[in-house]
Amino acid sequence: MHPTRVIGLMSGTSVDGIDAALVEIVGTDLDLKVELLAGKTYPYPAALREKILAICGGAPISMAELAAIDDAIALVFAQAAQNIQVGYPPATLIGSHGQTVYHRPPGFSISENSVSGNILPSHQSPFPYPQSLGYSLQLGRGALISRLTGITTISNFRVADIAVGGHGAPLVPRVDAYLLSHPQEARCIQNVGGIGNVTYLPPRRDDWLNQILAWDTGPGNSLLDLAVQYFSNGAKSYDENGSWAASGSPCYPLVEKWLSQDYFRLPPPKSTGRELFGVTYLHQCLQDCQAYQLSPADVLATITELTAASIVNSYHAFLPRMPKCLLLCGGGSQNLYLKHRLELLLKSVKVLTTDEAGVSAEFKEAIAFAILAYWRQLGLPGNLPVATGADQEVVLGEVHPVTGDK
């Protein structure tokens, strides 16, 4: 069987840049195999990053600006796709996640969403209006990426799952299941990006697929990155290796207070984003810290502890049993202090990275969107209803074929 060469493109909630992965894929599920030929992160131009972070933080934006940013993002994504395949035979498919700028889990009605005036029709609608559907907006339109690269592009992966009642996130669990499950061992795959998310994989026997669990654990690096920027007056964007936090001490009463927040108690399926764990949340944390006269290093240690404890507590609360092993991925897997805290809190659970199980910890999400695009082309479902809360499996992604003239 000839492998299919696919490019996966992803920019996550850290908004640090575009992760691009050029992969070769064979098989479809238990026989799925993926080889990473090249992986690279292309930082966003500073002005574009600032604009995206402002929108994510709720800054008002005109429709004209939205259109311009949508295309600016598509352009840098297309450039990333062109660059990653230099020196290789061209890919035949791109899976582009785009940039999330807004995410609303299901369960809110339109009237709860800061829309002034009643915008719903006053007459009786012939349809039962799905008041509580989620909404998730990823910018960087696939049609433009396809046009610029000359490669069929799949984008907008989250909307089909949302339309059948799901959160549209996390979408990586089905990929985790086929790439990282183990025949005898229960594992957790923990991504620590801007937001953290876990996939629990029981040993691969009997009804294992139906026993997978997954959810967003809460903040990954989002609060930590914002705090580092604040304390360094913008000179640093993250706590490299966690060494700044490691020089302080966590304030446990504050960690306890923050952990009592509703999101952490909510049972899965659940998803979140910078709308909750963003600038406003950090300001509240900084205000709470004042009462304890914490140094910047102590604040960073306390926020890192929140990330670690929210992850571990959610396992105790929502998993049928603790896993044998935890495989970390995402940028936070390089934070040695966070890893150390997780090891201490998890006691007998082995903490490794997905690299040690053969899947790049840095590029796993980009690889996942290459696989989701490949499944889309084969007409195979990409979501895992137990992870997203959808009422059925669905094929994910909108196809933007190449139009002929480039």
Ligand X SMILES: CC(=O)N[C@H]1[C@@H]2OC[C@@H](O2)[C@@H](O)[C@@H]1O[C@H](C)C(=O)O
Residues within the interface to ligand X (CB under 6 A): 12-13, 100, 103, 136, 169-172, 191, 193, 195, 197, 216, 271, 273, 365
Residue 338 Cβ vs ligand X, minimum distance, rounded to whole Å: 16
User: If contact means CB under 5 to 8 A according to the sort of partner, which of ligand X, ligand ATP, none does residue 199 touch?
Assistant: none
Query: Can you tell me whether residue 350 is helix, strand or coil?
Result: strand
**Cα dist. 27→3, 33, 35, 178 in Å?**
8, 6, 12, 10
Question: Pick from 61, 72, 49: which is nearest to 234 by CA?
Answer: 49
Q: Omega of the bond prior to 320 within 30 degrees of 0, cis?
A: no
The annotation status of 18 as a binding-site residue, yes or no, is yes
- Kindly indicate which of the ranges 87-95, 106-114, 177-185, 238-246 contains the residues binding ligand ATP, using the contact rule CB under 6 A: 238-246
Chain centre to alpha carbon of residue 161: 15
Q: Which of residues 16-45 bind ligand ATP (CB under 6 A)?
A: 16
8 marked as part of a ligand binding site: no
Residue whose CB is less far from ligand ATP, 29 or 240: 240
Of residues 93 and 172, the one with the C-beta less far from ligand ATP:
172
H or E stretch including 327? strand 325-329
Residue 13 labeled ligand binder: yes
Distances (CA, A) of 251 to 257, 265, 287, 311, 347: 10, 21, 14, 18, 21
# residues contacting ligand ATP (CB under 6 A): 22
If one asks whether residue 216 binds ligand ATP (CB under 6 A), the answer comes out as no
> Residue 142: which of ligand X, ligand ATP, none does it interact with, CB under 5 to 8 A by kind?
none
Taking CB under 6 A as the binding criterion, the range among 153-161, 176-184, 192-200, 377-385 that sits at the site for ligand ATP is 192-200
How wide is the angle at C-alpha 338 spanned by C-alphas 272 and 321, nearest 5°?
70
Residue corresponding to tokens 């933080």: 57
Which of 242, 269, 323, 389 binds ligand ATP (CB under 6 A)? It is: 242
CB of 192 to ligand ATP, least distance (A): 7
CA distance 113 to 116: 9
Per partner kind, with CB cut-offs from 5 to 8 A, the member of ligand ATP, ligand X, none near residue 171 is ligand X
User: Buried b vs exposed e over 19-57: b needs ≥16 C-beta within 10 Å?
Assistant: bbbbbbbeeeeeebebebbbbbbbebeeebbebbbebbe
- Residue with smaller CB distance to ligand X, 177 or 299: 177
Q: Among the residues of 30-123, which ranges form H helices?
A: 46-56, 63-84
Is 239 labelled a binding residue? Answer: no
In the complex, least distance from residue 42 CB atom to ligand X, rounded to whole angstroms: 17
Name the segment binding ligand ATP (CB under 6 A); options: 58-66, 121-129, 152-160, 219-227: 219-227
| 170 lies in the site for ligand ATP, by CB under 6 A | no
Query: Which residues sit in the known binding site for ATP?
Result: 12-19
Query: Which residues sit in the known binding site?
Result: 12-19
